[in-house]
Amino acid sequence: MKILYVITKSNWGGAQRHVYDLAVAMKEKGHVPVVALGGEGILMKRLEDAGVKVHPLNSLGRDISVGRDAVSFKDIFNIIKRERPDVLHLHSPKAAGLGVLAGRLLRIKKMIVTVHGWSFNEDRPIAQKFLIAFFSWLTTLLAHKTILLSEKEYSQTLHFPGVKGKLALVPLGIRQPVFLSIDGARQEIAKRIGVDLNELGKRLLIGTITELHPNKGIFYLVNAMEQVVKDHPNAVCVVMGDGQDAASLRLLVKGKKLENNFFLVGYVENAAEYLKAFNIFVLPSVKEGLPYAILEAAFASLTVVATTVGGVPEMVEDMKSGVLVQPKNSKELAHALSFMIEHPQMRREYGAALRESTVNKFSIERMLGEVAKLYE
C-alpha cells in the first residue's frame, strides 16, 4: 500500500515521533510511506535519513490564518492528487481538517485521523472550545476512522453525533529506549547546566522532556520549584526541550531567583538517553493525549509526578506507580515533589511498578499491529 501521512509541524514532539514510528515500520513491512509536513524540522531530517519520501509544506502551521490555510489546503490537495495514496493518515488538528476535506474531494477510499489530544481540552475561552469541538466533530464525521490514544478522549468522542462506528482506541506503543548509565547521564547533564559533576552528585535531580508550550504547564513547575527549593535547597530541576515559551520562562526563573536550581537546557538530541540521571520525572501539563515522555520515564524506572490530564491517569496509578496532581496547581505540585524527595524507598517502588505496567500495556508491536489492521 501507499500510505500518505500528513502532520502540521515537523519539530520532534509526541505526534511527530508517532508519525516517524509508523512510517518507518510500514516501510519495513514493504509498504510505501510518504509524509507531508509543515516546515523542515527534525522530523523531516529523520524521515529522510530513514529513506522515507517527504513533502515539506512551508505554509502549514498550527495558528489559524485564512490566507496561509488556503495555500496549505491547495498544497495538501495537490500532494494527495499526485501521490494517490491507498491510505491517507492525518495527524494534528490543522492537517486533519484540511486533509479530510481534500481527501473527500479527491475520493480517497480510506482516510484515518489520529487525535493526539483534542484541542478543545486546552485552556481556552468557552466560545473557542465550542467552535473547536464543532470542527473536531466535522473532521471525525468526514474521516473513515478516527484513532483515539486514550480512553478518556475515546469517551469524549462518543458524544459526537453519528461517529460511534468510526472510532478506534489504539494506545501508543514504545520501544525501550537506550539509556546511558546513571554516571554517564549525570556527566552529560552536568555539562549542560554548567555544574561540577561532584557538586551535581550531592543534588537531587527532577527532570522532564517537553515542548515549551502553554499546554505543557512549565510556568506552574517554575512556581512549584520556588517552594520545593525552600524546603529542599539541594533540589534541581532540568527541562529538556524548546518552544515558544522559552524566553518568558527564563525571565520567570530569573525573577524567582532560581538560576541555580532550575535549568532550561533547550532541545536535546535523543533526550531520553539521559533519563537515568534523574531521581524524579515530572510532567505538569495542562493538556495531554497519551504522552511518550511518561512511557520513556517508565522504562527508566523513574517515579513520575504528573497531572491528571488526558490519558495520564491510564498510565500512572496514583500513589501506586507515581503521584498525580491537579493541573494548574503549583502548590499541589510542589507538595507532591517534596513528598517524593522525602521518600526515596517509595520512589524506587513506584518506578518499578510503573515500568512493569508500561512494558505489559504499551508495546510498540501491539500498536503497529492494530494500526496495520485499520489500514488493511
List pLDDT tens digits, range 253-298. 999 999 999 999 999 999 999 999 999 999 999 999 889 999 999 9
The residue type of 369 is G
What pLDDT is stored for residue 182 in this prediction? 94
How many percent of the chain have pLDDT more than 70? 98
Q: Does domain 182-361 have CATH number 1.10.10.10?
A: no
- pLDDT exceeds 80 at position 16: yes
What pLDDT is stored for residue 223 in this prediction? 98
Three cell numbers, residue 229:
527549593
Question: What DSSP state is assigned to residue 345?
Answer: H
What pLDDT is stored for residue 67 in this prediction? 73
What pLDDT is stored for residue 121 in this prediction? 87
Return the minimum-mean-pLDDT range out of 117-121, 178-182, 208-212: 117-121
Q: How confident is the model at residue 62 (pLDDT cuts 50, 70, 90)?
A: low
What pLDDT is stored for residue 64 in this prediction? 67
Query: Model confidence over 296-326: pLDDT tens digits?
Result: 999 999 999 999 999 999 999 999 999 999 9
Per residue in 264-293, is it b (16+ CB within 10 Å) or e — as a string?
bbebbeebbbbbbbbbbbbbbbbbbbbbbb
Report the distance separating Cα 23 and Cα 46, nearest Å: 11
Parallel/antiparallel/unpaired status of strands 111-115 and 204-209: unpaired
The residue-averaged pLDDT of 228-245 equals 96
Of residues 199 and 57, more confidently modeled: 57
**Mean pLDDT of the residues in the chain:** 94
Residue in 296, 290, 346 with CA at minimum distance from that of residue 321: 346
Q: How confident is the model at residue 123 (pLDDT cuts 50, 70, 90)?
A: confident
Q: How confident is the model at residue 63 (pLDDT cuts 50, 70, 90)?
A: low
Q: Cβ contacts of residue 283 below 8 Å, gap of 6+?
A: 208, 210, 216, 291, 293, 294, 304, 305, 306, 307, 312
What pLDDT is stored for residue 35 in this prediction? 98
Report the distance separating Cα 279 and Cα 281, nearest Å: 7
Q: How confident is the model at residue 105 (pLDDT cuts 50, 70, 90)?
A: very high
Query: Model confidence over 156-196: pLDDT tens digits?
Result: 999 999 999 999 999 999 888 999 999 999 999 999 999 88
Q: Can you give the length of the chain in residues?
A: 376
Write the DSSP string, 232-279. Answer: -TTEEEEEEB--TTHHHHHHHHHHTT-TTTEEEEE--TTGGGGGGG-S
If one counts every other C-beta atom within 10 angstroms of the C-beta of residue 13, the result is: 24
Domain 2-169's class? alpha beta
CATH 3.40.50.2000 residue window(s) in the chain: 2-169, 182-361
The residue type of 277 is A
Tell me if 10 sits within 8 A of 43, measured CB to CB.
yes
What pLDDT is stored for residue 176 in this prediction? 87
Report the distance separating Cα 364 and Cα 376, nearest Å: 18
Report the distance separating Cα 321 and Cα 356, nearest Å: 9
- pLDDT exceeds 90 at position 201: no
How many percent of the chain have pLDDT more than 90? 86
